[in-house]
Structure 1
């Protein structure tokens, strides 16, 4: 059953690419030496239980289980040591991606920003309730089968480093959402690839937060 979004519509969604070594390797990329930041449009957000809608003609739709954080107070050029003081809370995030569009465009924004391509939830856990967000089990299930399993301690760049890097480029405002990257096991890494198709259900589960469940449907005519 669809739920309400656990957050207000953010001014910015900042995502981190290739932030787990195994995902960088399965993507054929060299692990980065600085956080790879990109944007995702806020109109792509959808709540726990609401469907991911695959538009006609959009192909090779993939999942990416991620821990997301929500900024709680304004900051610019934040020191890494202070970065977690700026976090209001944490939630599950699924960075849905059209790999076909990514290949066509040569960059990531459009293929990741279709409406409904950013499931978030099921709830926002206050930062005070997750004292060690850098040590949380994270997994993804496709139709009940575990396809991703890792721990946030396996990030290349920590949450502190991500917030510091993002705030050097832009002022972070209350409500801004930062998705911190996905571990290995995305659909394109399988042989044959395991793309999302109508009738399936994708779930992201993170220790201490809960399970974000999203059915997949085709766009109606």
Structure 2
């Protein structure tokens, strides 16, 4: 192979990151690791400066992996992203796919399988761990769902706090995240639940999906 697949790895746990780098670099002449990072900002910078073929990205990194995906989408990047995470939440899977990722796999995967998936994604294939794909199909096939079922666990927690009367500052303090991150979550929640403001969110009956609403404006 004339040009090895150039991979960047972003995970906020140094030991995990080192293990991933070792796993994909061992005995793989067609794959080379060109960069690594630990935060959403570093993920965006790696794509901007190195333009790797593949970015392995954990969703739970500081600054949030989904935020990094949104920023990279605005950059119109050519890098293909594989989410490598511990989150099995169907909402996280759907949200990542909506942001254009090429793969979603769970940590604990064998190194040989990870390398094979990297090669497949580099060939323009898409991949979701079979157990997650089966769960998503099951969720989609249910005849009726609660409105809140489309939310990830973190989003559902934020909705619960909003319904308790918490402001963004209170939510940020309770969940140990920044107010900016809370605002990002709120915008995503508004879109998913098709509400326009916190009042509509607070009174929404989770037992049924809401009627379509206008696009949500800036979160205040």
TM-score (norm 1): 0.23
Tell which structure's C-alpha radius of gyration is larger: 2
Higher strand share: 1
Higher relative contact order (CA 8 A, sep 6+): 1
Higher helix share: 2
